[in-house]
Structure 1
Amino acid sequence: MAMDSGWADLPQDILTLIADGLTIDSHACVRAVCTNWRSLLRPAAPSLLAVLYDAEQREGGWRLCALCLSPKTSTVLKRRMATMLCLGSRCVGSGDGWLAIDDPILRLVNPLTDEEIPLYSFTRGRLSKVVIAPNPKQSNFTAAAITGRNRLIYTTAGNNSWADVQCPRLADGDGLTDVMYHEKAAGKKVVYCLTRHGDVHIVHLPGDRGQQRPAVVEPLLSKNFDKGAAFAAPYNTISKHTSAKNLVFCNGNLYQIWRNTSCTVTSQLPSGGRCRVLADQIFVLRYYPRRRPCWNPVKELGGCSVFVGMNNAISLHVKGDNPGVRGNCVYWIGGQGRNMGMEFDMETGTSTPCFPGIPLQRDICWYHLGDTRSSNSHNLVTPAYRLRKRTRRA
């Protein structure tokens, strides 16, 4: 049945007011009603998936919740989650509405639609992180994963097989620490890999199933990687004290996000003097291909915000009047002895909890729908999901 033109032409302020009271799945349905509504309503902002203790729950008190950064969602809605996860489940990836869950069979799940894709073909070691292309299908999807210390594997043929990628010039003591999926023009699929030393490798994946060509790997820097040439002092020294490193694209530029996950450290600089790196201190470096050193520290992201962690890293354009997601901020998960969503303000250089006062047992990952990567931020009430034990597969 066609929509009445009067509803299709509903003013944006009224439509936005209605959408502000919807859950994330209902909001997605409203945006799909017609072309006009989709253009007027911005996609949902990322949410934080976390295990929350609820004393009112009869089944153990723990449930999986989605917490939105909008202040309108200071309380968590009590809504049953379609896909249930057990407390022992380990999330190893997130992107475009899907989660990669290892418990113990690796599987992709969509918490909003209850779709599930078991990855029976994966049997090789403990995963560090998984990234997937949008809209995976049971028999045909693209995924890449870090397994072990320096091993990258990928599949472009669904559950049929996984292939190894040999990243060149990994120095002694170096290894892969982050992977990011990025789809270029003409549907070309690319994976960016980041090492603990800050070196970047670009993996050009073959096409969809049926194409047996191997992946092509090239370093971001054509010459041998050298910290002194890549990072100016003191960042060539700071690099070894920031074990958490992530890659993200923002406004077409490539950035590295570094964080010191240990205690405060003080190092002697080769040129003299000392360098002090605080616990959980964050550094943001932008790639300038025509400069040497080519990775340089920055204090802003052009008004955007970025979300890093177990999720495939995303960036959002943020309007100044949006009270939910703030511009020039890095949203991350961690903290000394804690596991919580944090907001790093690049201007002040400080991090603060995103949800102070909410008794979270553990934070899992940032969760976002497929079209948030290039969208403006939007306030949205997201659903809360309940957690129950799941019978494990043999």
Structure 2
Amino acid sequence: MANRRWDLLPGDLLRSVVSRLRADDFVRACSVSREWRLVLLKEPQLLSPAQEFPWLLLPSLRVGELPSSCSFLRIPDRRRFHLPYLPEISGRRCVGSKDGWLVTLDLISLQPRILNPLTRAELPLPFLPTEAPGDEVRIRRRPDGSIYEFWYTRFANHEGNPPSKFPDLYVKKIALSTVPTGVTAVICGCVGINIIALAKPGDDRWSAVPDTPLDDYFEDVVYREDDGRFYAVTGHASVLAFNVDGSMISIVAPGRRLAAVGDIPSHDRYVVCSSGILLQVWRISRCFFLPCGAHREMTVGFHVYKINPDGENNRTCGVPLKDLGDQCLFLGGRCSSVSVRAAGNLGLKKNCIFFTEDFPDTMFYAGKSEMATPFMNVGWYDFVEGKLGCYYPLLLDHVSSDWPAPIWFWPSLI
């Protein structure tokens, strides 16, 4: 048995075996030999690993590192595994994910690509517009048009920031309609002023969706397959709908100004499609002081509102919900928010909300000083019982990283 050439196993037999395994086992099988990798990646659509708890795409282990590899964590069994050779992400930031595909962004040119890290299939998107809206950010460019540095006009010393930090400030959310060839929506902008830009692979440029009112800004965007439209939520809890070409803008829920929120100390808003139902989710945070003297905004709870896509009977922000049924929500990390049925999925519990940190949390906390403590705000929340759990102990190896927080990744070979 020790002398058998397992790398010469017939391709049909190999695919038959691997199709019964989980996606992480597929990754390991591809690492056995060059022959196995060529066989398995030739027709990945024939392989259908069962849906499971999403993986966390982990940050780099060292400050400033932009590796050509990536690591994942599967939370239920604490298993980690590594893709040792992925040159497609070298010099790029992973800024979004949907259905097994990542959106990566070049840190200098702001050119995004859609990448399946398991098969290494990749499609380019147009360069993002780099004119930051508003007057609070200034950009200095090189002769070729790439960003040399940027700074905030609100600070008297106008201290320049390196271009590698600009994508973390500029790109807030990424949403894809259908992967990999559908329309991508990006919320981009600086200092509370932003736009939604739309493009698909093969386009020459991005087109902008009409702006929000001057005193409002976009917080999240998601694609709803039931009617083929994007839905976006703003800082004032308004929900807007628009077609994939940016037309037919309509206000689904009017929202309300922040001053009317009451005693909620801090909140981020998300929009989620859950079994065809549209939800607006508020993430509630409070400021806590750490023993080292630093302070952190930490998640303490969530509010969930049901939104009628046709705009009827939505009140101001939607109809409050007390129960998510058999659904789990996955939020944060600049990805599209996702709802998944708990039954039959390893590690999932109904009525739970799983969350990771949003920008700008890790930009301000990661790699800044010895008092910096990134990735504390990653965990789960039982929506019915009001209980919280934290995944911070699983991420201790990465606390010195200056990458953004881990993002949810749903493994797929298609």
Same fold per superposition (TM over 0.5)? yes
Which residue among 26, 40, 45 is the counterpart of 2:53? 45
1:356 aligns with 2:393: yes
Matched, 1:97 2:103: no
The residue type equivalent to 2:232 in the other structure is C
Rounded to whole Å, the distance in 1 between the matches of 2:412 and 2:68 is 28
Contact (CA 8 Å) 1:107, 1:117: kept in 2 or not? no
Change (3 A) 1:292 1:319: same
Could you say if the C-alpha distance between residues 291 and 21 of structure 1 is closer, same or farther in structure 2, counting changes exceeding 3 Å? closer
Alpha carbons of structure 1 residues 78 and 3: separation in structure 2 relative to 1, 3 Å: closer
Runs of 4+ that moved beyond 6 A: 1-4, 32-35, 59-63
Matches within 5 A, 1:171-250: 172=215, 174-184=216-226, 188=228, 190-206=229-245, 215-221=247-253, 225-227=254-256, 236-237=261-262, 241-250=265-274
Cα offset for 1:49? 0.6
| Alpha carbons 2:195, 2:208 under 8 Å: kept | yes
CA drift of 1:200 comes to 0.6
- Deviation of the 1:328 alpha carbon: 1.1
Q: Is the 8 A contact 2:56 2:407 kept in 1?
A: yes
- Determine helix, strand or coil for the equivalent of 1:284: strand
Corresponding letter in the other structure for 1:175:
Y
TM (normalized to structure 2)? Answer: 0.64
Distance (Å, rounded) in 2 between the aligned partners of 1:166 and 1:253: 25
Deviations 1:20-39 (A, max 9, x none): 87245869x69x8898x85x
Corresponding residue of 2:116: 110
C-alpha spacing 1:83/1:347, structure 2 compared with 1 (3 Å): farther
Task: Give the Cα separation in 1 of the matches to 2:60 and 2:186.
Answer: 28
Taking structure 1 as the reference length, the TM-score comes to 0.66
Partner SS for 1:51: coil
Counting aligned pairs with the same residue, the percent is 22
After superposition, give the CA deviation of every residue in 1:328-385 in whole Å (9 maximum; x if it has no partner). 111111289432531111123232123634423353311114699xxxxxxxxxxxxx
8 Å CA contact 1:52–1:62 kept in 2: the answer is no
AA aligned to 2:347 is G
Go from structure 1 to structure 2 and tell me whether the alpha carbon gap of 1:249 and 1:370 turns closer, same or farther (over 3 Å shift): farther
CA contact (8 A) 2:328 2:342 kept: yes
TM-superposed CA distance for 1:313, in Å, is 1.5
Shift of 1:299: 3.4
Q: How does 1:119-138 map to 2 (within 5 A)?
A: 119-124=125-130, 125=132, 126-137=170-181
Output aligned runs, 1:282-293, within 5 Å.
282-287=301-306, 289=308, 290=313, 292=315
Asked if residue 280 in structure 1 is aligned to residue 286 in structure 2, the reply is no
Residue correspondences, number: 317
Q: Which residues of structure 1 form unaligned runs of 5+?
A: 207-213, 265-277, 373-394
Partners of 1:52 and 1:63 within 8 A in 2: no
Higher relative contact order (CA 8 A, sep 6+): 1
- 1:145 equivalenced with 2:145 (yes/no): no
Cα distance between partner residues in 2 of 1:22 and 1:315: 25
Between the aligned partners of 1:261 and 1:288, the Cα distance in structure 2 is 23
CA contact (8 A) 1:50 1:365 kept: yes
Q: Select between 196-205 and 247-256 the one with higher mean Cα deviation.
A: 247-256
Match for 2:355 among 323, 332, 349?
332
Query: How far is the alpha carbon of 1:255 from its aligned partner?
Result: 1.6
How far apart are 1:195 and its partner, in Å? Answer: 0.5
* Residue 68 of structure 1: how far off its partner (Å): 1.2
Name the amino acid aligned to 2:390. Answer: P
User: Matched residues in 2 for 1:330 and 1:360: separation?
Assistant: 23
The answer to whether structure 1 residue 302 and structure 2 residue 329 are counterparts is no
Moved more, 43-52 or 305-314: 43-52
Distance in 2 of aligned mates of 1:69 and 1:194 = 29
TM-align CA RMSD: 4.1
What code does the residue aligned with 2:129 have? T
Q: Is 2:28 aligned against 1:22?
A: no
How far apart are residue 79 of structure 1 and its match?
4.2
Q: Residues 348 and 360 (structure 1 numbering): CA distance in 2 closer, same or farther, change over 3 Å? A: farther
Output the CA distance in 2 between the equivalents of 1:370 and 1:33.
Answer: 9
With over 3 angstroms needed to count, the CA separation of the structure-2 counterparts of 1:370 and 1:311, relative to structure 1, is farther
Letter in structure 2 aligned against 1:107: P
Supply the AA of the counterpart residue of 1:350.
K
- d(CA) in 1 for partners of 2:413 and 2:236? 32
8 A contact 1:49–1:66 mirrored in 2: yes
Give the partner amino acid of 1:97: G
Asked if 2 retains the 8 angstrom alpha-carbon contact of 1:286 and 1:297, the reply is yes
Q: Is the 8 A contact 2:237 2:317 kept in 1?
A: no
Letter of the 1:147 counterpart: C
Measure, in 2, the Cα distance between the counterparts of 1:113 and 1:180: 25
Q: Deviations over 1:259-284 (max 9, x none)?
A: 244517xxxxxxxxxxxxx9422223
| Structure 1 residues 305-347: Cα deviation after superposition (integer angstroms, max 9, x where no partner) | 1111211111111127x55122211111128943253111112
SS of equivalent to 1:22: helix
Aligned counterpart, 1:343: 380
Displacement, 1:82? 2.6
Shift of 1:226: 5.0
1: CA distance between counterparts of 2:58 and 2:122? Answer: 20
